Structure 1
């Protein structure tokens, strides 16, 4: 496996919820690593089967493993790792984890080039409208990693390995192969960065985790038209709860009202006034 700055370059950013976990449902546990969430799917208990969704910030592998051991016991790796996408803050701990867990990694086929060393993401857009995090985004790595044969495309039938009852939904815009996860039985949703519940480009709000719905992080989103379509798709599913890649999990009336508002007013709420990708589309 080949590392890159996306797994090796520690990012000196944190939030008040870093190191905290929330049991959103009996089989859904959201754990915050600095400024990003990873999700454990599986009922807590030593030896129980479980799945990891996303892999946190660079250098976070040990923290994720320790939290998993608290929930599922020692020497009990996940059945698989599912990635919503392959940005640095969602794969940062991946290679460290794969060195101790011999498990498959699943992502949309369009994300596989970023996991097999074939393609780098575009550089973050520091010119985009936004707060201090957007201005500091030049520090964020965009290079691919190479996990070789451990990388697998998600099944074409939209099922998710080892997650019965769940389907993956292609929600591009933030990245080409971005996915969200949806369970029809209770309308639970894991959305990665298709939308977030903290304004991710403002440093103060990131630190305090002030709850506020927003579109995908502005400095790493290259296609706003498709990102809008993805939010419309998710809103139409009427989720009962949503775990986002950034911000606190949300549910019920707050989720319904704010997600509907984001879908209907996406251009004014989410799309920046200016930036490389906004200007290129005009």
Structure 2
């Protein structure tokens, strides 16, 4: 492994799971997502083709599982043309270094505002254990928040024209709030939205709701969201796309009328549904 690459100093296995863990769903013939403990990663590409992409890199200590899922879909000893990140939080890059070690010089694309957290320069703010919410918020101090360092890898910015490398017909949208350089991906042709953590479909701070994957349109996880006005603006941007199906970073995929009504309600009532009553990122203490 390149000496300039390492997972975060606080990288560790997080003992969390859900009823969806270890399962995958083909949402479109070329769009498949898999739940790794409590987070989703996406595989893009037709299995009969040759140009495949991995979106996000899962929980810590999961590289072998993610690699196996990829090979089960695309063939033994295959690797992606690129890894593309919605953002750099621990549950979306937890196995990135291990995958790069296994797959070699695979390019990694992200928004430039996430680069400090991907090159060891800057840590994310510590999770807010004081925020209004459930048990997963209260124990969020155990979650890694230090930066990973893939400066020795082929880290590249997403194209300025909004296109997505190796994903023709898709665009990326800057959706900050949960993190400075958070992005989502949208394909207008069939209305598929890969939302990362900008919009999720489970109340992520509730241990019970995460465990049973209770389906409900929600804003980003409370304990790691630092700019709630930006997060609200990002939800407005995504709702305006009128997506037909959403694949979130957390929770199950949703589509149709339930999705449209849920997004409309979230936009209208974001201040009560998503923004917590108290917390250091709400009260201006951070």
TM over 0.5: yes
Separation (CA, whole Å) in 1 of partners of 2:128 and 2:207: 16
What SS is found at the alignment partner of 1:89? helix
Q: Which residue among 259, 269, 273 is the counterpart of 1:269?
A: 273
Matching of residues 105-184 of structure 1 within 5 Å: 105-148=108-151, 149-184=153-188
Write out per-residue CA displacement over residues 174-231 of structure 1, whole angstroms, 9 at most, x where no aligned residue: 0000000011111111000001100000000011001011110000000000100000
- Number of aligned residues: 280
Matched, 1:217 2:214: no
Separation (CA, whole Å) in 1 of partners of 2:95 and 2:50: 22
Counterpart position of 2:86? 84
Matched, 1:244 2:257: no
Q: Which residue among 93, 96, 100 is the counterpart of 1:98?
A: 100
Pick the structure with more helix per residue: 1
Matched, 1:193 2:197: yes
CA RMSD of aligned residues (A): 1.2
Q: Which residue among 62, 65, 69 is the counterpart of 1:63?
A: 65
Query: Contact conserved, 1:112 with 1:152, CA < 8 A, in 2?
Result: no
Separation (CA, whole Å) in 2 of partners of 1:89 and 1:180: 16
Instruction: Give 1:5 shift.
Output: 4.0
Instruction: Give 1:2 shift.
Output: 2.1
What SS is found at the alignment partner of 1:182? strand
Segments of 5+ residues of structure 2 without an aligned counterpart are none
Could you state the TM-score of these two structures normalised by the residue count of structure 1? Answer: 0.97
Query: Contact conserved, 1:111 with 1:178, CA < 8 A, in 2?
Result: yes
Could you state the TM-score of these two structures normalised by the residue count of structure 2? Answer: 0.96
What SS is found at the alignment partner of 1:278? coil
Q: Which moved more, 1:215-224 or 1:145-154?
A: 145-154
